[in-house]
Amino acid sequence: MAARLLLRSTFRAATACRVARAAPAPALTRSMATGGIPTDEEQATGLERIIMENMKEGKDPYNMMKPKAYSGTKDDPNIVPSITNKRIVGCVCEEDNTAVVWFWIHEGEAQRCPSCGSYYKLVHYDLPH
């Protein structure tokens, strides 16, 4: 009798394991709603939250991403954002140059680097806050 009960419980345990393996594993979640550790999105506040929300929309309000590359020609000048009507620009004219050519650019037409001739255009930029 005892052997039959032991055999029956062993059979049930084995079938339960097989069923458990066939069922899809529950998705791992760590959100606060399920009682887990809060994600970065759930616990961010203030400026960090503003930045995370803008990054999701593809915006870069604080210029944290690598700037877009321009060809530097008259038709596709390097864009220089500024909160005023002028800004000083440093141009590394050739890739392996050790010296930087500094010059002022002003709002209006695109201006050329005095050394290499690359075009730079000042564009007005409002601070996000």
Annotated binding site for Zn(2+): 91, 93, 113, 116
HEC readout, 53-115:
HHHHCCCCCCCCCCCCCCCCCCCCCEEEEECCCEEEEEECCCCCCCCCEEEEEECCCCEECCC
Return the number of the residue (111 or 118) whose C-beta is nearest Zn ion: 118
Which segment (11-19, 31-39, 71-79, 92-100) binds Zn ion by CB under 5 A? 92-100
Least distance (Å) between residue 69 CB and Zn ion: 15
Binding residues for Zn ion, how many (CB under 5 A)? 6
Cβ-based burial of 4 (10 A; exposed 0-12, middle 13-18, buried ≥19): exposed
Among 16, 65, 88, 116, binds Zn ion (CB under 5 A): 116
Least distance (Å) between residue 65 CB and Zn ion: 23
Least distance (Å) between residue 99 CB and Zn ion: 10
Joined tokens for residue 64: 């944290």
Joined tokens for residue 112: 């050329």
Return the number of the residue (54 or 87) whose C-beta is nearest Zn ion: 87
Annotated binding site: 91, 93, 113, 116
Residue 89 interacts with Zn ion (CB under 5 A)? no
Greatest pairwise CA separation for the chain in angstroms: 100
